[in-house]
A and B are shown apart, each in its own frame.
Chain A
Amino acid sequence: MKDEKKDRLEAFVKTNRQEFDQGMPGDHVWVDIDQRIMKDIKPWYQQEVWLLRAASVVLLLISLFLYQSNQKPALQQIASGNHEFDQVEGYYASMINEKRSQIDSFQEGKVEADEAYVVDLQRLDAMYEVLKEELGRNPSKEVKDALTLNLLIRIDLLNNKLQAIEELSEEKKISIEQAT
């Protein structure tokens, strides 16, 4: 009987548990906490978490770099015979052509002959011709590397140009939207 009564009190408290939380702290409590902790909280770039994240990104970049430099010899191996170099050349040449036609389509065929990237490409082309002649006389690894590099620089140039065109058209779109 007595136990039942005690349990009744316990049961009552448990059933109405939420209603026992009626007290509310004053607003000044948060104001004080805020003032105190804001002095201690470091901005995000000083946080260890962010330093760790930055470190892991750096580590990833280093491993990517190392991975790619390990891949290089493989590329050079492909280019070990002239026939194999032709394959590499063909691959990059098709890439270059594709990017050039993309740029052409953006500019609707109106490519300015004195545009910096066009001049650069012409120079690279001239250099390429010289190197190609050298390859005939001396099919060394160095010459093949120089030829491959020449092609890679062209791709890089075209990529930059493509990106600039895309950004420009994006800006135009935005200004049109704002104007309308």
Chain B
Amino acid sequence: MEATYHIHTEIVDRCLSGDRTAYEELYRLYARSMFNVSLRITNDQAEAEDVLQEAFISAFQYLKTYNRTASFGAWLKRIVVNKSLNHIKRRKLDTIPMEDELDMVEAYAEVDLEYDVTQVKRAMEQLPDGYRTVFSLYLMEGYDHGEIAQIMGISESTSKSQFNRSKKKLLEILKQEVIYER
């Protein structure tokens, strides 16, 4: 971990000293994981590509301001998350549903499901933007609720309740898929 951090710091230094190949190295190192971060939030391949492009351009332009208190990856991820959130806000397709058929969801919570990555991914894609964002920021990207609250401009308790609801909703979708497949 420590070694990885140093290797990437070295590449950042090379970028700052005008080494053009270092920029592509950084991109190749982080493109895939950052693309997936954005894809989970935007839920759209083309939009996630736009975010990736914007995020890397911003990161490269503001590389001088990266103060190295966090790893480069963590810094870049924050840019990707913020840009992804801006994209879904612009889209205004849906807002975070605060009350959403919770009683119905409870009924499925007890069902014993065998999880499968593809199924969980597909179920995540069906979550409303707000749920999916909190779900992936917490469970996939490893932010805590305090950080999510700050990133999304909501309270910590909202982040917690949204996460719990997103899980219930996800279980509901998974259950429906299981029924459908049978």
Which residues on A are within 8 Å of B, measured CB to CB? 1-2, 5-6, 8-10, 12-14, 16-17, 19-26, 28-30, 32-34, 36-38, 40-47, 49-50
Q: Are A21 and B16 in contact (CB under 8 A)?
A: no
Given contacts A23-B39, A32-B53, A50-B18, contact A37 B23 (CB under 8 A): yes
Q: Are A21 and B57 in contact (CB under 8 A)?
A: no
Q: Are B139 and A13 in contact (CB under 8 A)?
A: yes
Given contacts A40-B61, A44-B17, A50-B17, contact A25 B171 (CB under 8 A): no
Q: Are A29 and B31 in contact (CB under 8 A)?
A: yes
Q: How distant is B136 from chain A, measured CB to nearest CB, in Å?
A: 9
Q: Are B17 and A47 in contact (CB under 8 A)?
A: yes
Given contacts A33-B56, A34-B24, contact A19 B117 (CB under 8 A): yes
Q: How distant is B95 from chain A, measured CB to nearest CB, in Å?
A: 24
Given contacts A29-B53, A40-B61, contact A21 B32 (CB under 8 A): yes
Q: Are A17 and B52 in contact (CB under 8 A)?
A: no
Return chain B residues, CB-CB under 8 Å to A37: 23, 57, 60-61
Query: Once the chains are docked, how many angstroms separate the CA of A29 from the CA of B35?
Result: 10
Q: How distant is B68 from chain A, measured CB to nearest CB, in Å?
A: 15
Query: Once the chains are docked, how many angstroms separate the CA of A46 from the CA of B18?
Result: 9
Given contacts A2-B109, A49-B16, A50-B18, contact A13 B120 (CB under 8 A): yes
Could you show 18 A-B contacts with beta carbons less than 8 Å apart? A5-B110, A6-B109, A12-B120, A14-B139, A16-B117, A21-B32, A21-B36, A22-B36, A23-B36, A25-B52, A29-B35, A33-B27, A37-B23, A42-B18, A44-B18, A46-B18, A47-B17, A49-B17
Q: Are B35 and A23 in contact (CB under 8 A)?
A: yes
Q: Are B49 and A25 in contact (CB under 8 A)?
A: yes
The listed residue (A1, A13, A24) touching B32 by CB distance below 8 A is A24
Q: Are B117 and A20 in contact (CB under 8 A)?
A: yes
Q: How distant is B126 from chain A, measured CB to nearest CB, in Å?
A: 15
A contact face: mostly helix, strand, loop, or mixed: helix
Query: Once the chains are docked, how many angstroms separate the CA of A38 from the CA of B56?
Result: 13
Which chain B residue has the least Cβ–Cβ distance from A21?
B36
Query: Once the chains are docked, how many angstroms separate the CA of A163 from the CA of B53?
Result: 54
Which chain B residue has the least Cβ–Cβ distance from A53?
B17
Q: Are A9 and B121 in contact (CB under 8 A)?
A: no
The listed residue (B33, B49, B52, B140) touching A13 by CB distance below 8 A is B140
Query: Once the chains are docked, how many angstroms separate the CA of A95 from the CA of B18?
Result: 45
Q: Are B20 and A23 in contact (CB under 8 A)?
A: no
Return chain A residues, CB-CB under 8 Å to B35: 23-25, 29
Return chain B residues, CB-CB under 8 Å to A36: 57
Q: How distant is B103 from chain A, measured CB to nearest CB, in Å?
A: 14
Query: Once the chains are docked, how many angstroms separate the CA of A2 from the CA of B56?
Result: 41
Query: Once the chains are docked, how many angstroms separate the CA of A13 from the CA of B45?
Result: 21
Return chain A residues, CB-CB under 8 Å to B31: 25, 29-30
